[in-house]
Chain A
Amino acid sequence: AQSVAQPEDQVNVAEGNPLTVKCTYSVSGNPYLFWYVQYPNRGLQFLLKYITGDNLVKGSYGFEAEFNKSQTSFHLKKPSALVSDSALYFCAVRDKNSNNDMRFGAGTRLTVKP
């Protein structure tokens, strides 16, 4: 079965600084990887996904994530954080060769301070 770990409950960065939200995964086969974001009092929204091909994936709002197979990681990054990026971020994984569906991480709360 697949699983995801988000080792940081909370990430704090200053506006304008680069941000990284970490994610590592475990699957028996090859993964599909996703990032979702949850703004306050809102449902989860899709941010980006890795299926195959280029390891660097670009998504909405200037976010990107890099798939690293050797480190089984899919960290979310943004070169310059905005206060409006403050939200709860979830990483998710699905095994390509499995009938099981996606499993989400516990979430990381990102706070960007002005």
Chain B
Amino acid sequence: GAGVSQSPSNKVTEKGKDVELRCDPISGHTALYWYRQSLGQGLEFLIYFQGNSAPDKSGLPSDRFSAERTGGSVSTLTIQRTQQEDSAVYLCASSLASGVNIQYFGAGTRLSVL
């Protein structure tokens, strides 16, 4: 596609349920990033994939959060046993590679945990 695509755009779930958020990066982009944007918290780095290298998971807030990237393209962010504090907008970005390359962002998934 022309840009980074994220689905769903909105997700409402009940506390304790698992959710999966999907990101389709721009074709040919080897680097993929997940961020969390909370009200008053700015942009929080979660995880970063670069090619076939082991992902940088240093930003994941707890072991309830995990992500995978299949075939070097689509990525799924999974949150298990969701909590109300997980409510936020989850943003995905991709770039040609890391370093100086521009990151292109998707519109995000707004997650609401009731």
For the complex, count residues of B whose C-beta is within 8 A of A.
24
For the complex, give the distance between the alpha carbons of A49 and B95 in Å.
14
Interface string of B38-59 (1 = CB under 8 A from A): 0001110100101000001010
The answer to whether A32 and B99 touch across the interface, beta carbons within 8 angstroms, is yes
Interface segment, B13-21, B62-70, B73-81, B101-109? Answer: B101-109
Decide if B7 is an interface residue (CB 8 Å cutoff). Answer: no
Residues of A within 8 A of B102 (CB): 34, 46, 49
Decide if A45 is an interface residue (CB 8 Å cutoff). Answer: yes
Instruction: State whether A106 and B42 are in contact (beta carbons under 8 Å apart), knowing that A42-B107, A94-B99 are contacts in the complex.
Output: yes
The answer to whether A90 and B108 touch across the interface, beta carbons within 8 angstroms, is no
Decide if A77 is an interface residue (CB 8 Å cutoff). Answer: no
Interface size for chain A: under 10, 10 to 19, 20 to 34, or 35 or more residues? Answer: 20 to 34
The answer to whether B106 and A104 touch across the interface, beta carbons within 8 angstroms, is no
For the complex, give the distance between the alpha carbons of A15 and B54 in Å.
48
Interface string of A95-114 (1 = CB under 8 A from B): 01001111111110000000
For the complex, give the distance between the alpha carbons of A97 and B99 in Å.
10
The answer to whether A104 and B43 touch across the interface, beta carbons within 8 angstroms, is yes
Contact of A44 among B41, B48, B50, B93 (CB under 8 A): B93
Instruction: State whether A103 and B100 are in contact (beta carbons under 8 Å apart), knowing that A44-B91, A44-B93, A44-B105 are contacts in the complex.
Output: no
Can you report 11 residue pairs joining A to B where beta carbons are below 8 Å apart? A6-B42, A42-B107, A43-B91, A43-B106, A101-B48, A101-B56, A102-B33, A102-B45, A104-B43, A107-B42, A107-B43
B-to-A contact residues, CB < 8 Å: 4, 31, 33, 35, 41-43, 45, 48, 50, 56, 58, 91, 93, 98-100, 102-108
